Amino acid sequence: MIDTLLQSLDTLLLVAFSLCALVGAALMLVLRQPMRVAIALISTMIFLGGIYGLLGVHFIAAFQVLIYVGAVMLFMVYVIMLLEVREATEAPYSRLLWPGLAGFVLLVGTIGISIWRGAPPPAAVADGTTFGISRFSVSFLNEYWLHFELTSVLLLAAVVAAVAVIKVSRKADSKRRHG
């Protein structure tokens, strides 16, 4: 009795979180001010973190909140506050609004129908240890250590590129000052 109740509560929460995430994503396209768009995106990410938690992938839920909301979106919010360029008078959407909408409907329709029709294979048994941090870390550093090392190369490239961007900006500054 309590088990079925908990299971239906689980499903209910999953559907509610999905709807909230979808509403947040749709609001991102409608809202005008970048700060409000950022808030909508943050709420979407938090609801997605809730979904990961409901699925039992707790460490990804934690990292979603820590990395995405805590680092990436905080950075974004700071930049929005830093820039504060207001241009409410211009047209909010580009000329590609209608082709974009048509492409959106086509994409969602095609993939949605294929998801709807395709009978999902029977779900494997995902017990409590499947997504435990210990099993994940062992397989991460045993089987996928090469990919892990490759990301470190990517991060190094990002650092070099950031330094290059700063150099370009300094050059542009000095050019503006002297000429």
Residue 126 CB contacts under 8 Å (≥ 6 apart), including other chains = 56
Is residue 145 close enough to count as binding another protein by CB under 8 A? no
Say which amino acid occupies 169. Answer: S
The answer to the question of residue 56 lying near another protein (CB under 8 A) is yes
User: Which one, 2 or 121, has the nearer CB to another protein?
Assistant: 121
Instruction: Name, in order, each residue with C-beta under 8 angstroms of 102's C-beta and a sequence gap of 6 or more.
Output: none
CA pair distance 117, 133, nearest whole angstrom: 34
For another protein, the binding residues in 3-22 under the rule CB under 8 A are 11, 14-15, 18, 21-22
**Shortest distance, position 1 Cβ to another protein, whole Å:** 22
Rounded Cα gap, residues 136 and 158, in angstroms: 26
Q: Does 123 bind another protein (CB under 8 A)?
A: yes
| CA pair distance 94, 25, nearest whole angstrom | 19
Closest distance of CB 60 from another protein, Å:
6
Q: Which of residues 75-94 bind another protein (CB under 8 A)?
A: 75-76, 79-80, 82-83, 85, 87, 90-94
Residues 149-178 that bind another protein (CB under 8 A): 151, 154-155, 158, 161-162, 165-166, 168-169, 172
To 5 degrees, how large is the angle CA 159–CA 70–CA 57? 105
Taking CB under 8 A as the rule, does residue 51 contact another protein?
yes
DSSP 56: T
CB of 3 to another protein, least distance (A): 17
